[in-house]
């Protein structure tokens, strides 16, 4: 099935509604992180392709083929996309596993379910984007607002959740009537191209969407600087984000940035310990720890720390590391050999900073980018492992004595994406949720997402949100309309 699937999927640019080679004729190789072998040769977009895509998107937006389509019809198309994702979920899950390395079951049960949900949820918004009327001080005047799509939007998505991030960006942008250009990561472009085919099959008008696989320094930089891109969403690292902010100044394009996190997970003695343990293992190591919201700082109350940590190590060592296509695997490989080396560098730094390695942290023999999940104890607040985002299966454990201490230490981070608190004391839970600086706080749960709930960060975790009702605000802009209802009489009363 693997060879037949890879042979059947599109590998060219999806440019203005058609699959075409890159203007340069160049291609790049995407690799299977479990073996290091080549998966596919994919067209490599550059600035010339960006110009074509933006021109097509702008023309489609201005002639209204999508934005002026009745909202009920747009809703039918987006709902159909969700149905097509569900109908093709088995193939998409295998493709995601091959390209990214994650277990097929996780891709099928988490990634594809959420991707379909995003399109179906946002389909409902197509008929519910409303303006308002308001009383004004001018007599005989009617003032009202409409919400209009922003225009041409660009979305630069990461490699850790390729299909989810593509859907999460495309669904609200399209629901609002925008034209969209998607640049998936060069590490994982295959499901984005498959998704483009499904969108075309569902009836999305030509020119409304382009998908440009390519490299950040070429296609991504061109999108960030392009004068006809009105809004850009980026998920990734700080270095690239700063370049995007600088490049966006050319036309003052609006930005939404999701830039990472260093999630604290705080466990009190009255917590449901078994549930907290299960959530901690899952939160730290799902997707090989390659999550912006991955549990990376585990704070355990001193009264229960020894027993909790012992059980945590035992559960972690029971996880099986192997190819994502092996149904027995709990963790797959890291995305690339270069990323594996970066994560191993963080492990070496932790050892150099005198943290105590309790488990894992070693590479598996043989091909592939496999790493056993690592747990460190006795990590100093000043250690690099406390402040640096690892983006891999590495967990640091800390002990604390009081709520005040836990809050202070949890907030001692440049990031503020998410946090998790475990306690049966409702007053304590509310207090900590209010005082922790994070865009999302989970209480007695972890990694809960829904198309209706906002997702975004504070501090260096970025700004803006691209999900739910808040996404409608991101992808539209208000227009005020004033109508003088008089025939001329009474104008002398104007202030």
Catalytic center residues:
258, 292
How open is the CA angle 125-130-133, to the nearest 5 degrees?
165
369 is written with which tokens? 């980018």
CB 169 within 8 A of CB 467: no
Contact between 327 and 37 under an 8 Å Cβ cutoff? The reply is no
Q: Are 216 and 246 in contact (CB under 8 A)?
A: no
- The rounded distance, in Å, linking the Cα atoms of 442 and 435 is 13
149 - beta bridge partners? 476
Backbone phi and psi for residue 274, each to the nearest 5 degrees, phi listed first: -65, -40
Q: Whole-angstrom Cα distance, residue 7 to residue 200? A: 20
* Burial class of 130 by CB neighbour count within 10 A (0 to 12, 13 to 18, 19+): exposed
**Alpha helix positions (H), 267-383:** 273-285, 305-317, 337-352
- 126-129 LR contacts (CB < 8 Å, sep 24+): 126/71, 126/72, 126/74, 126/75, 126/78, 126/175, 127/71, 127/72, 127/75, 128/71, 129/71, 129/175, 129/176, 129/472, 129/476
What six digits make up the tokens of 83? Answer: 């149905």
């Amino acid at each position: 099935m693997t060879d037949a699937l890879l042979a059947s999927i599109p590998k060219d640019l999806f440019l203005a509604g058609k699959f075409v080679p890159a203007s340069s004729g160049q291609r790049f190789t995407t690799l299977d992180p479990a073996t290091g072998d080549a998966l596919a040769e994919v067209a490599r977009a550059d600035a010339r392709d960006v110009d074509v895509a933006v021109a097509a998107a702008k023309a489609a937006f201005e002639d209204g083929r999508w934005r002026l389509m009745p909202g009920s019809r747009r809703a039918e198309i987006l709902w159909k996309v969700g149905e097509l994702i569900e109908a093709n979920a088995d193939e998409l899950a295998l493709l995601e596993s091959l390209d990214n390395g994650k277990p097929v079951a996780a891709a099928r049960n988490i990634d594809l379910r959420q991707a379909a949900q995003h399109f179906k949820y946002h389909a409902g918004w197509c008929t519910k984007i409303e303006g308002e009327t308001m009383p004004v001080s001018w007599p005989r005047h009617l003032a009202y607002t409409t919400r209009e799509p922003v225009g041409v939007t660009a979305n630069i998505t990461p490699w850790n959740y390729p299909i989810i991030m593509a859907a999460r960006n495309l669904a609200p942008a399209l629901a609002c009537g925008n034209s969209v250009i998607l640049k998936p990561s060069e590490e994982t472009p295959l499901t984005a191209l498959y998704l483009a085919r499904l969108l075309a099959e569902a009836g999305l008008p030509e020119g409304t969407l382009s998908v440009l696989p390519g490299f950040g320094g070429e296609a991504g930089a061109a999108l960030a600087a392009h004068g006809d891109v009105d809004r850009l969403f980026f998920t990734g690292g700080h270095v690239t984000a700063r370049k995007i902010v600088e490049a966006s100044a050319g036309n003052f394009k609006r930005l939404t940035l999701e830039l990472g996190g260093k999630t604290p997970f705080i466990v009190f003695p009255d917590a449901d310990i078994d549930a907290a343990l299960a959530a901690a293992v899952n939160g730290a190591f799902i997707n090989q720890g390659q999550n912006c919201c991955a549990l990376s700082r585990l704070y355990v109350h001193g009264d229960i720390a020894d027993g909790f940590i012992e059980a945590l190590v035992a559960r972690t060592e029971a996880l099986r590391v192997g190819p994502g296509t092996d149904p027995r695997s709990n963790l797959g490989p890291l995305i690339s050999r270069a990323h594996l080396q970066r994560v191993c560098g963080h492990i070496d730094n932790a050892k150099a900073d005198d943290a105590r390695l309790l488990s894992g942290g070693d590479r598996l023999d043989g091909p592939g980018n496999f790493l056993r999940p690592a747990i460190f104890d006795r990590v100093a607040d000043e250690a690099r492992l406390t402040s640096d985002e690892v983006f891999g299966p590495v967990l640091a454990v800390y002990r604390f004595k009081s709520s005040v201490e836990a809050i202070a230490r949890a907030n001692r981070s440049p990031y503020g994406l998410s946090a998790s608190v475990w306690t049966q004391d409702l007053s304590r839970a509310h207090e900590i949720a209010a005082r922790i600086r994070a865009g999302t706080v989970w209480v007695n749960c972890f990694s809960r997402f829904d198309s209706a709930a906002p997702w975004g960060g504070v501090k260096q975790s970025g700004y803006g949100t691209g999900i739910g009702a808040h996404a409608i605000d991101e992808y539209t802009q208000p227009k005020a309309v004033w109508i003088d209802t008089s025939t001329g009489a009474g104008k002398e009363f104007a202030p």
